[in-house]
């Protein structure tokens, strides 16, 4: 896997937690608030376009607010890291295709995946009037990682990944159709 961490610039976003705290002063736990608001900033404000193999530094991506899955994953992971959240990258593929998709992951921040999922649903309902459904996560390196895909409606939402055939659902279970490699941010 390409080392996408070399393009991350969490220091460029040191202001992010203060801005989020100013806008959502009462919501606790703070790390859930940071996770959800950062996700929404990108979901609502960044457009997709194929940008080729060159990945710009995260600060340049913020100026453009447009890029492919690699660009957007570097940006959101830089923002997650600036907010004290651990992030990772996952390359996934569709069998028989030469290209794939880069998915951002964020380590669940509360030490209890069920409580993290409950708090994400609560934040979305209270602040965006969105009823979040299933929250998809996976385990890598002994930790739970929530999908933070830039084409989803909320952290852990997987509809776009299912529709594009990156995820196969089977009743109440699911699996990656094919994944290449996981890279945890430093």
- What CATH number does residue 64 fall under? 3.10.620
56-87 residue pLDDT tens:
777 777 777 767 778 888 989 999 999 999 99
Angle between helices 113-128 and 30-45 (to 10 degrees): 60
Please count the structural domains in the chain. Answer: 1
Angle between helices 69-82 and 30-45 (to 10 degrees): 150
Segments in the chain below pLDDT 70: 47-53, 66
The confidence score (pLDDT) of residue 49 equals 54
CB 1, CB 101: distance < 8 Å: no
Q: How far apart are CA 40 and CA 95, in angstroms?
A: 30
Q: What residue numbers bound the domain in which 139 lies? A: 4-184
Q: How far apart are CA 164 and CA 94, in angstroms?
A: 8
The confidence score (pLDDT) of residue 115 equals 98
**What are 144's strand-pairing partners?**
139
The confidence score (pLDDT) of residue 135 equals 95
The confidence score (pLDDT) of residue 55 equals 80
The confidence score (pLDDT) of residue 164 equals 87
């Amino acid at each position: 896997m390409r080392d996408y961490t070399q393009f991350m610039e969490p220091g460029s976003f040191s202001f992010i937690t203060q801005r989020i705290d100013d806008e959502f002063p009462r919501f606790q736990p703070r790390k859930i608030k940071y996770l959800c608001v950062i996700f929404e900033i990108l979901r609502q404000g960044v457009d997709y376009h194929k940008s080729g193999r060159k990945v710009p530094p995260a600060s340049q991506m913020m100026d453009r607010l447009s890029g492919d899955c690699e660009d957007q994953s570097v940006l959101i992971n830089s923002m997650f890291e600036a907010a004290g959240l651990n992030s990772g990258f996952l390359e996934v593929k569709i069998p028989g295709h030469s290209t794939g998709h880069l998915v951002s992951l964020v380590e669940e921040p509360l030490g209890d995946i069920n409580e993290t999922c409950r708090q994400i649903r609560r934040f979305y309902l209270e602040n965006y009037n969105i009823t979040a459904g299933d929250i998809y996560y996976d385990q890598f390196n002994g930790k739970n990682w929530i999908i933070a895909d830039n084409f989803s409606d909320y952290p852990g939402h997987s509809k776009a990944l299912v529709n594009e055939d990156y995820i196969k659902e089977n009743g109440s279970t699911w699996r990656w159709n094919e994944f290449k490699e996981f890279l945890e941010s430093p």
